[in-house]
Amino acid sequence: MKTWFFAIALLSVSGAASAGSKIIATGGVTTIEGNAGGGIVPWAVINGYASSNEWSATAFTGRVAINNFTLQSTGVGISLDNTWEFSYARQHFALKTIGGSLSQDIFSIKYHLTGELLYSALPQISLGVQHKRNRDFTLPAAVGAQRATGTDVYLAASKLLFNQVAGRNVLLNGTLRATKANQTGLLGFGSASDKHYQFLFEGSAAIFVNYNLAFGIEFKQKPDNLAFAAEQHWRDVFVAWFINKNVSLTGAYVDLGNIAAQGSQTGYYLAMEATW
Amino acid sequence: MVKHSVLIGACLMLLACSNATQPNLYQRLGAEDGINAMVDGLLYEIEHDQRIVHHFADSDIGRFHAKLAEQLCQLTGGPCHYSGSTMQESHTGFNISLADYDALVEGLIKVMQRQQISITDQNALLALLAPMYKDISYR
């Protein structure tokens, strides 16, 4: 964490590291699952600043701290041609009050199908796949999860609308996800009674105060497969600061509902991203 | 505090209503002088941008300046009539890529920031220029 902070501080003052041609903030930030997006919702944008015939690399770390749990998520990504995004993230979910932890790896690919976030009337539309693997299935199995691995597929549409609210630009995003994941996969996939994919909606809206600073909200619909505890939808209010094309910081207030029969889980999210 | 804000808000609304002719974007950008300065700035950015300068190697810079100024004037509501060729015509054969377009937009943003154009006016101009991508790119 300290070395990370140092590296990012260095990048933000140097500003010399090369970045691609895309306009600042158009790569979004990185979600807890490692994809370009907001904090919890993957967007249609491709991570980093690689425009046509360019490539870029991203690295991020983020921490969610809620009443009874913490989630640490760290990952890397490579983007090509503003078309392909390949990413890997590892999540570590600590059960502060119950004791123990959950962990999973997430391998993702996103493909930009059509539209350009800034330049076309059509929203930018991308298709994404996330392959998730529990690193220890003991606890998920104990609470009724069927499988230790799962694959989510999502279709996302994102559009930046210029000059909308008080002359500011607004970003809208809608994502449709097919998933079997329990608590995004941290509690495994499916259950004895719910084995099938469900289609769920996720959405984000943000307003850019200027090129570098955005305020937004997010909503993520969740399945409820496990009998031992009800799973609830997630929501957050965030601020993202794109210091330059190499560094961004995100902060959020999150409401993740009940988790593992522990009452209302609210708290904060802090993340940093570095882009080359 | 709230009372003050309401009072100030009411005054502003009165001012807005009494001022029947709101300045349009052309005027807010500084009319002819402002547009010319913006085009000068953009040419400077292009000249110093290795990513895109090659596209202008054979351009008549004087003509480019005049036509772009005219186009921006008309587009923002100024008293001009753009007399140049269509965007499709003037970019055919250049194969302008997304990265080229991004580079030019980034250059324009730099210029607008340098000229201290308000963020709302910057966004208003970008809203007019961004959709031209489909006529300019990959031709």
The CATH number linked to A140 is 2.40.160.40
Where do we find the tokens 């509690």?
A187
Closest CA to A81 of A49, A58, A109: A49
Q: Give chain A's domain count.
A: 1
Q: Could you tell me whether strands A247-255 and A266-275 are parallel, antiparallel, or unpaired per DSSP bridges? A: antiparallel
Determine the pLDDT at residue A260.
Answer: 87
B138 bridge partner residues: none
Residue of chain B minimizing CA distance to A166 = B120
Q: Kindly state the average pLDDT of the residues B39-59.
A: 94
Q: A104 — phi, psi (to 5°)?
A: -150, 155
Contact A120 B134 (CB under 8 A): yes
Give yes or no for a contact between B102 and A56, defined as CB atoms under 8 angstroms apart.
Answer: no
Write the pLDDT tens digit of every residue in B73-101: 999 999 999 999 999 999 999 999 999 99
In the predicted structure, residue B14 carries a pLDDT above the cut 60: no
- Supply B111's token pair: 């210029």
Residue of chain A minimizing CA distance to B98 = A52
A269 bridge partner residues: A64, A252
Q: Domain B24-136 maps to which CATH number in 1.10.490.10, 3.40.50.150, 3.40.80.10, 2.40.110.10?
A: 1.10.490.10
Question: B111: which chain A residues are within 8 Å (Cβ-Cβ)?
Answer: none
Q: How far is A73 from chain B (nearest CA, A)?
A: 31
Residues 6+ apart with CB under 8 A from B45: B107, B108, B110, B111
Q: In whole angstroms, what is the distance from residue A272 CA to residue A212 CA?
A: 14
Where does chain A show beta strands of DSSP type E?
A: 29-30, 36-37, 55-66, 69-80, 84-95, 101-114, 124-134, 145-147, 149-165, 168-179, 189-191, 198-208, 213-220, 234-242, 247-255, 266-275
Write the pLDDT tens digit of every residue in A69-103: 999 999 999 999 999 999 999 999 999 888 899 99
Q: Which domain holds residue A224?
A: 2-275
Angle between helices B61-75 and B119-129 (to 10 degrees): 110
Mean pLDDT of chain A: 94
In the predicted structure, residue A4 carries a pLDDT above the cut 60: no
Strand, helix or coil for residue A166? coil
Query: What interface predicted TM-score (ipTM) does this complex get?
Result: 0.91
Interface test with B, best of A81, A114, A163, A245 (most B CBs within 10 A): A163
Instruction: Please give the span between the terminal C-alpha atoms of chain A, in angstroms, as a whole number.
Output: 19
Amino acid occupying residue A64: V
Strand, helix or coil for residue A139? helix
Determine the pLDDT at residue B5.
Answer: 54
Can you spell out the DSSP letters for B33-99? HHHHHHHHHHHHHHHT-TTTGGGGTT--HHHHHHHHHHHHHHHTT-S----S--HHHHHTTT-B-HH
Q: How far is B80 from chain A (nearest CA, A)?
A: 24
CA B108 to chain centre: 7
Q: A189 — phi, psi (to 5°)?
A: -135, 130
In the predicted structure, residue A7 carries a pLDDT above the cut 70: no
Give yes or no for a contact between A76 and A88, defined as CB atoms under 8 angstroms apart.
Answer: yes
Write the pLDDT tens digit of every residue in A115-136: 999 999 999 999 999 999 999 9
Determine the pLDDT at residue A263.
Answer: 85
